[in-house]
Chains A and B, each alone.
Chain A
Amino acid sequence: MNKTFQKILAKAKSENRSCFVAFVTGMDPDYESSKKILIELSKYCDCIEIGVSFNTSTSDSSIIMSANDRAIKSGAKTGKIFQLIKEVKSEVKSDTAFVTMGYLNQIHVYGIDNYINDCKKSGVDGCIVVDSNNEAPEDDQIFKGLTKNNMAYIKLIAPTNDDNYIKQSLKKSSSWLYIVSYAGVTGSKEVNLDNVKKLSKMIRKQSKIPIGVGFGIKNYDDVKKVSKLADLVVCGSSIVEKIKEGSQKGLTNQNLAQFVGEYVKTLSEGVKH
């Protein structure tokens, strides 16, 4: 297991709570504001997923798609996201884990080995690659590269997946496994606890890996409910919406970071058991 994840999971356990994970699109709405947001959120989050924008993503709702467009307009590129993470990490004193979340095309274009090297150099703790199929040759290369460099490879599992698919994914998962709570795109439905229970049971038959849950977790109560079932609770779309709301109010940099931070602070308090 990646050392940062080891620390945050142990810490959460000792505090009788789950880990809180926030998702934001890197460089949304711009580089400096995003940097301030990430630093601010690290006060309340055990882990932050940073979206690497792709303008043709196939699994994101219009909320994330719009954030991707804003980030791309502000100059987001894979290399810039690494620079952002590196700068944030140098200023953050907590053990917050940083994970990149994106699509394979960017990684393919950047070069898989190059991507992994730059993850390592910038202090990334793990990666999620939404459309990297377990059986694709690129997926093996990513898994091996990340494992060799002690970074987590976080695989997604959906309610529609069977035992065999879970088994395949477990072989390539390290640090934690991400359960998608419903069949749909990010933030489009309510979190489905029955699916979570069913999938957790299927996973628990095969492995003791920590389980994270995301998709549809929009408020304090959702966080509270999911934290009883999961080791990590992921919130994305509602935080991204908050960034948009703050930007539309004309907030930037530290003001925007504080505006989003206050919201995330409340959400994160739901993880206490």
Chain B
Amino acid sequence: MKIPPFKELNAPDSLGYWTNKKTGEKYGGQYISPLLIPNLKKVEVGFQKAMKNKKFLTNLEEQLVNHIGIVTPILRSKELEDIAGGEKKIGKIFLKRTDLHHDSSHKPVSAFSSVYFAKHILKAKKIITETGASMNARAVASACAKLGLECEVHIGAVDAEKVSLNKDITELYGAKIIECHDSTKTLLPAMAAALRSWQSDPSAMYVVGSCCGPHPYPLMVRTFASIIGRIAKKQMQELTGKLPSTVFAVCGGGSNLSAISYPYYNDKKVNIFGIESAGKGISSGAHAATITGKAPIGILLGARSNVLMNEDGQINESHTEASGLDFSGTGPEICYMASTGKIKFRATTDKEAQETFLMMCRKTGILPAIEACYVIHAALKEIKRRKNPRENHLIHLCGSGESNVGRMLKYKRDNE
């Protein structure tokens, strides 16, 4: 398959801000200690160089195709169509099977690309990263093993407990795993710990697991990840002969939402939906729904974006069953796209996602990542509401659920 080349559709300004022209609100930027400014500059200059380097891009793409297996199928799911009311009522539902990637999620795409970039452009010898669901850790560790770089992973102690399979695989790939016991012991303090570690070791390169962090990370991650969407857009065109009416993806930090939806940013007829975790329900306050929960603008981990925080600016803990969504902020470009209305947001509760997980197993024979079940639930609800037989719907099935098996089996047995 000839993969369509990357085109910049939504460039930030030179300081890394996306500015909403109507409200004047800025998203992104580079809010970080002076120690890290030179590191970030090096990444920024290197990234610009890399995107113009045809040899680098061609070699990277070859690796993504053959090592990560990036040309995954798009599966038409008659089972989900039937659950939503049948093709004649709601149209066709397609699943982008990113769960079939090497290391079973969308994460290896930006992770491998970032490590490949670190090795070939920045000539770094060591990678520092953080992780929530350990999907990113596993992906970065795998890339480091293949490319011969040292790998240091920071993980919240609570997350480490929750997703031991991915953590174990990360360890087998040779990464040094550092458990973070600060604050909430989840992704957020792990990310702060990784940034602190980078300050102490400026010759290393920091790889972020989502399109968050200081400029140029949000730009770089979505640019690398968008190859998923570029392939999917072409596949959808070949399968249906037109643009999809809807594109659905789950949103924690926003990398998998960017990955699939970015190529559609300028397509006015395409409705993009980002799905957040409503945890125990938005009104309970125990959720990870930054946008749906109307979180204010704050400055978190180097960028200006919507942030779950209290009235004094202390970052609030997010609550969700899905470690991959357990984050108190959302990437700046996604927040900007939400502010312009191009990406609409919905939220799914943990309970709804867990029920969707069991349904997917029983009715489709697919073991989805719990993260993907938030989007499938919300997509089915929206598709039913739209009730348009002429529509094609694209859902990002962003990961496989092996690491959720223990908890989900317990859920199933407890609730039967």
Query: Which A residues contact B (CB, under 8 angstroms)?
Result: 53-62, 65, 69, 72, 77-78, 103-106, 108-110, 130-133, 135-137, 155-158, 160-162, 165, 169, 180, 183-185, 188-189
Contacts and interface: CB of A to CB of B under 8 A. Distances in A.
B389 interface: no
Nearest to B38: A160
B161 interface: no
Interface string B176-205: 000000110000110010011001111000
B36 to A, nearest CB: 8
B33 interface: yes
Contact of A133 (B32, B38, B309): B32
A106 B313 contact: yes
A58 B32 contact: yes
Most A Cβ at <10 Å: residue of B34, B183, B300: B34
B238 interface: no
Most B Cβ at <10 Å: residue of A72, A77, A105, A188: A105
A165 B34 CA distance: 9
A108 B38 contact: no
Given A55-B183, A188-B200, A108 B37 contact: no
B46 interface: no
Given A72-B314, A161-B38, A58 B200 contact: no
Contact of B200 (A65, A131, A169, A184): A184
Interface of B: 15, 26, 29-35, 37-39, 182-183, 188-189, 192, 195-196, 199-202, 296-302, 307, 309, 311-315
Given A56-B188, A69-B183, A185-B199, A156 B31 contact: no
Nearest to B14: A135
A132 B301 CA distance: 12
Nearest to B313: A109
A105 B313 contact: yes
A109 B298 contact: yes
B303 to A, nearest CB: 10
A56 B192 contact: yes
B90 to A, nearest CB: 42
Contacts of B309: 105, 109
Contact of A58 (B195, B307, B311): B195
Given A104-B299, A105-B313, A59 B196 contact: yes
B168 to A, nearest CB: 26
B37 A133 contact: yes
A130 B299 CA distance: 12
A197 B31 CA distance: 27
A157 B34 contact: yes
Contact of A183 (B29, B199, B314): B199
Nearest to A56: B315
A144 B269 CA distance: 46
Most A Cβ at <10 Å: residue of B32, B200, B299: B299
B370 to A, nearest CB: 25
B150 to A, nearest CB: 18
B300 A183 contact: no
A136 B35 contact: no
B34 A156 contact: yes
21 contacts: A55-B183, A56-B300, A56-B314, A58-B196, A59-B199, A62-B182, A77-B312, A78-B313, A105-B298, A105-B313, A108-B297, A133-B32, A135-B15, A158-B33, A158-B37, A160-B34, A161-B37, A165-B34, A183-B201, A184-B199, A188-B200
